[in-house]
Structure 1
């Protein structure tokens, strides 16, 4: 336990042989449950999880669970039908709950499985940790403190808050991260939040019970999707300065698929957030500002395009060009007004821990 709060760690792993075992063995003593999810790996990840679990249970730590079970015995246990339908849950080995997906479900799918298990167990604070060893486990209290002290419902690492941490990030990752940060600000409504792809997070039991965990996005954009869900439910988010350790691991993200998938998801989530938060659950004119602004800006771009085509065809249509420009400017103004309103609506839900 950590400050009288039970702590669970969700550890998603896909082809992390050579890394995941060390992460399990290095987990702090105050962690009560480690939900190690093998996402149908093609290497020895599952075997390494079981071996590391036995080592962790037998290293002199206080007994937290059952004795060493038969490694071939898999039981459908976990407390919810949703969890049972997606994964085999091995008998708990000490504090480790080895879980093996029935099929590959992606990074978000593994996080969802871990969240379902932690929610079923009534864990007070659930941390997500990558299995590749990139995350400094000694800094976990920085994520847990806002949760257990009641200052936030969700805390996430942020590698962009510190100039030192930003300098350690490869340039191509920094540029991509900055772009996704802006798109996620618009979609989720947390305008101070940056580094949305950071997988080092902690979430409270109340937040897990408030959001639709079963509907969580099952691709790499799950963390962006989660922020949207949290905002609609009025959850408080803490951005915590956190470095990353870049070692020998290789990213499995295919950017040719990642960018269009996540961009489409963010647009869909943005529209869902406006409808749910500002039209269904309550009413706020910023939703109309967004819609009118987008419509006017789109009409302005279309008019300017037609004017350009007319000019290329040596057919002067100056009114269309001027009218298009005015529509575009007015549309952008409406969008900016909407963003300002949006910032004000969520300002009290955001904090930063440097």
Structure 2
């Protein structure tokens, strides 16, 4: 299987180089997507000599992920792995995600351990609500729909159109893949929560999520 890791990055100059160097040990190709960062993220990406896409202005995580999907399809990769650029995901878990794709699953979600001492309260609450609602729509129990760590069979993404521009793309992706009869599984992955500033806009992203979810409910039930 030809594998690619896609790393959307916004203002991650502190972490992106280390993340890329760790991730490239486990995949055939690394594609970093600089989402209009205002710091030196693109400079750090170029130091690694990996493949990259450089947005001159911030377009949102959803658009960065869509650009990565298009790249994976165009370049005939079999499996893509999304991993965040902030260093919270352990790259050594990548083989575990890919091995489940080889077993016949279409999308593997890296489910984060929710230790109360490490995961911020706002993330625990928002993720619980989002996961409960998306699970209802797709009729499968998924505990961590907002996880940015996931492996996907590229063939299942062909022909799918995603409209989300920000963080709600992760839930939209699950809903549309489920409607496309994709086999979905979660596996536990290690996560490190540091004292970093989140780029999630609470009000805007919550609104976008519920708007996307309402469309998903209409697709499923009406």
Which whole-Å CA distance do the structure 2 matches of 1:190 and 1:9 have between them?
A: 29
Alignment of 1:107-126 (within 5 A): 107-126=61-80
Q: Which has the larger radius of gyration?
A: 1
Query: SS of the counterpart of 2:115?
Result: helix
Q: Which has the higher contact order (CA 8 A, sep 6+)?
A: 2
The offset of 1:274, in angstroms, is 3.2
Say whether residues 1:238 and 2:188 are aligned partners: no
3-state SS of the aligned residue for 2:196?
coil
Counterpart of 2:140?
Answer: 191
Assess if the C-alpha contact under 8 Å between 2:37 and 2:57 holds in 1: no
For the Cα contact (< 8 Å) 1:166–1:174, is it kept in 2?
A: no
Report the counterpart of residue 29 of structure 2 in structure 1. Answer: 33
Alpha-carbon distance in 2 for matches of 1:257, 1:40: 19
How far did 1:211 drift? Answer: 2.4
Q: Residue in 1 aligned with 2:12? A: 16
Within 5 A, what are the aligned runs for 1:1-354? 5-53=1-49, 96-150=50-104, 152-159=105-112, 165-167=114-116, 168-187=118-137, 189-212=138-161, 215-275=162-222
Tell me the distance in 2 between the aligned counterparts of 1:51 and 1:41: 16
Distance 1:31 1:209, change over 3 A: same
Structure 1 unaligned regions, length at least 5: 54-95, 276-354
- Choose between structure 1 and 2: higher helix proportion: 1
Deviation at 1:231, TM superposition (A): 1.1
- What secondary structure is seen at the aligned counterpart in 2 of 1:157? strand
Q: Distance in 2 between matches of 1:263 and 1:140?
A: 30
* Unmatched runs of 5 consecutive residues or more in structure 2: none
Change (3 A) 1:48 1:193: same
Deviations 1:152-201 (A, max 9, x none): 100011125xxxx43342333212211111111123x1421111100000
Contact 2:101–2:107 at 8 Å: present in 1 too?
A: yes
3-state SS, counterpart of residue 166 of structure 1: coil
Q: Give RMSD over aligned pairs.
A: 1.6
Structure (1/2) with the larger strand percentage: 2
